[in-house]
Structure 1
Amino acid sequence: MLRTSLFAQVGVALLAGVLVGRLWPDVGTAAQPLGDGFVRLIKAMIAPLVFCVVVAGITKAGDLKSFGRMGLKALIWFEIATTVALVVGLLAGNLAGPGKGMNIDPSSLDASAVDEKTGGGELPSTSEFILHSLPDSAVGAFAENSLLQVLVLACLVGAALLHLGHTKVPAILPAIEQAQEVVFAVVGFIMKLAPLAVFGATAHLVGEYGLGALSTYGKLIAVCYAVALIFLVLLALALKALTGISLWKFIRYTREE
């Protein structure tokens, strides 16, 4: 079981990371690239995965009118679900305070790094946001890992396939579906590296900040899982009310994903 269960491997890697970070802090700090590399590999597969899944899903809509109705419903559902997730997350963050206890000195933070991540706190205008969502290069959208642009491309390709019909482009859809299977297989390979990533991240955390940081991060993880569970329950209730689909039937249908 220990050799075949990814969960067990991650658990062992977590304990090993704590041990290494506690006994050899320098070694633990140096293990950070293991976690960073894993994240980079996962990010590299997100854009191809989104493209293949969206194109394959759109082509199963039947026709452009059905695609339009489905897209509008999906957009409305996305906006409502995102708003609910935002409210639940804000409430949990303010009530539980999962970041308390880090004892970070604000004077030690690099303000320029914050500005670089947030764009100096300036929000783009509506026109700028729309223009940014439109790719100026198909390759560039994937190279820059711009998921919104990839999504726009996927919708255009899927709509074009619906418009042309499967008889005119018989080889494209099977190729996209096969590419989707390949991407899922690659993600499966990458996930096998999760124990190494957990080891590196945990060893770096303990080596850099000490064992005290584990309790703070543990609280953060617990709050995240609790909020995710609450959010899933709310979505399940909404799904039941709108479609009548049983929660357990839905879980059985999607558990492989």
Structure 2
Amino acid sequence: MEKTSFKDWKRYTIKSLAFWVVVGIVAGITLGMLNPSLAVQAKPGIDWFIQALKWLVGPIIFLTIISGIVGLESLKEVGSIGLKAFIYFEVVSTFALAIGILFGNLLKPGHGMHLDVESLDVSAVSSFTANASSQTGSVWGILKSAIPTDPITPFLHGNTLQVLVMALVIAIGIAAFGEKYKEAILAPLEKVQNVFFKILTILMWLSPVASFSAMAFLIGKFGIASLIGMASLLGVMLISVLAFLFGVLGIILWFYKINVFKFMRFIAKEVLIVFATSSSESALAPLMKRLEAAGVSRGTTGLVIPTGYSFNLDCTNIYLSLSIIFLAQAFGIPLTLSHELSIIFILMVASKGAVGVTGSGFIVLAGTLSAMGDVIPVATVAVLLGVDKFMSEMRAVGNLCGNAVAAVVVGAWDKQIDMEKFRYALDHPESVEDAIPG
């Protein structure tokens, strides 16, 4: 009994990636508090890790979508999954936008701040606002930006949307050739995909170092004390995200007889890694592998998860709508019901228009404020710079959870999931660990 207990202890501590990620987080926070100047110099650790991930995530998404679609029985299944995913994305992401506005109005995080636009340092956000009109605001602009100028740049720059479009076109072309060609192409594709997953497994063991660098820089640069002035916004953001995850997503999962708390425990390892690195990309491939091992079809995970990272960023939507309400309150600008409805309609398009763009949160915010006319000055987004890094953890974690739920729901809706196997995996998460990178 003692020997078994010791093995379990080693499995969940010394041999567990999640354990070392926690160690990295604690060490980074400690350094940030004790020696801020040294902690700020740790930033390259997280920058290099995210850059390496971007190089890997592009090929993994590309290969996963192609093998997933080619592996489906017919193009009819591709259209069925895609249509249901699109409907789900639009409905749920709209709920997310509404939740941001609802909690912003109920809890009033910016009320009583009495900020003045004239006192802002607009130079801090000039690079974001300058790109706003070109990156957001029209369906045509989004479609145009989804078409790559060449087949290499999207992989080098980590442009998920362009990689997604290329993979879909190639996969549908291969699937149209017929069973003979599909089988000949699928086997080598899967071998190459496995090579990238093995490389990812090695890279993921560097995530504790990235976690340390990210937390050290965060605390060293902004300091815990810098949160006090914006604590209300961070608090309302946290409440909104939790309400969405355990309220909206919880109800959706309940319809499929899935316990939301068991589900969140099931993906806890990926959630922890995303929280530590502030990047949803860090757990994209492991999440797909985990869901596939639990009974969701490869075609569903391969199509829904990568597409969701472009079109189903639920908690980014909460951040965007809540931030606009916060800015209006902080600067004493009254918003009518008409204004709030226009925020939802504009963000339904604009929130999908800056995928893969650095500083996309500010670009989308600036674009939305510009589209609203002179109701809220675009320069007001400068107020959010100090806490955006802290809010990015909540956005990244929430987006991960939202896309995981989307894959399960679309899979169940399209009968592309073994529900008996999936429920067993929720009760016994350790049963799928061997199939997951890292």
TM-score (norm 1): 0.78
Shift of 1:192: 1.5
Shift of 1:200: 1.3
Aligned to 1:140: 153
Shift of 1:68: 2.4
Task: Give the Cα separation in 1 of the matches to 2:247 and 2:421.
Answer: 19
Task: Give the Cα separation in 2 of the matches to 1:227 and 1:125.
Answer: 27
Farther off after superposition, 237-246 or 150-159:
237-246
Task: Give the Cα separation in 1 of the matches to 2:173 and 2:34.
Answer: 59
Root-mean-square deviation (CA), in Å?
3.7
**Matched residues, number:** 253
Q: 5+ unaligned residues in a row in structure 1: which ranges?
A: none
Task: Give the Cα separation in 2 of the matches to 1:249 and 1:109.
Answer: 54
Aligned to 2:198: 185
Whether 1:199 and 2:212 are equivalent positions in the alignment is yes
**Change in CA separation of 1:184 and 1:230 when aligned onto 2, cut-off 3 Å:** farther
Question: Once the two structures are aligned, what percentage of the paired residues are identical?
Answer: 29
**Partner-residue secondary structure (3-state), 2:179:** coil
Task: Give the Cα separation in 1 of the matches to 2:46 and 2:171.
Answer: 35
Determine which of 175, 179, 188 is the counterpart of 1:175: 188
Aligned to 1:250: 422
Q: Letter of the aligned partner of 2:159 in structure 1? A: S
Shift of 1:89: 4.6
Aligned to 2:128: 114
Shift of 1:115: 1.7
- Cα deviation 1:93-131 (Å, max 9, x = unaligned): 66567899xxx9843761313325x52587343333322
Shift of 1:31: 0.8
Shift of 1:64: 2.4
Whether 1:228 and 2:241 are equivalent positions in the alignment is no
Shift of 1:27: 0.8
Determine which of 46, 57, 72 is the counterpart of 1:46: 57
Shift of 1:74: 2.3
Shift of 1:210: 2.5
**Change in CA separation of 1:143 and 1:220 when aligned onto 2, cut-off 3 Å:** farther
Residues 54 and 156 in structure 2, CA contact (< 8 A), matched pair in contact too = no
Whether 1:60 and 2:87 are equivalent positions in the alignment is no
Q: Letter of the aligned partner of 2:209 in structure 1? A: L
Shift of 1:164: 0.7
Task: Give the Cα separation in 2 of the matches to 1:77 and 1:23.
Answer: 46
Whether 1:27 and 2:29 are equivalent positions in the alignment is no
**Change in CA separation of 1:19 and 1:128 when aligned onto 2, cut-off 3 Å:** closer
Whether 1:11 and 2:28 are equivalent positions in the alignment is no
Shift of 1:190: 2.3
Aligned to 1:208: 221
Residues 54 and 155 in structure 1, CA contact (< 8 A), matched pair in contact too = yes
Task: Give the Cα separation in 1 of the matches to 2:53 and 2:211.
Answer: 14
**Change in CA separation of 1:41 and 1:25 when aligned onto 2, cut-off 3 Å:** same
Q: 5+ unaligned residues in a row in structure 2: which ranges?
A: 1-9, 258-408
Task: Give the Cα separation in 1 of the matches to 2:97 and 2:199.
Answer: 32
- Cα deviation 1:62-92 (Å, max 9, x = unaligned): 1223332332222222222322333335545
**Partner-residue secondary structure (3-state), 1:136:** coil
**Change in CA separation of 1:20 and 1:156 when aligned onto 2, cut-off 3 Å:** same
Determine which of 80, 85, 91 is the counterpart of 2:91: 80
TM-score (norm 2): 0.49
Residues 134 and 152 in structure 1, CA contact (< 8 A), matched pair in contact too = yes
Farther off after superposition, 192-201 or 66-75:
66-75
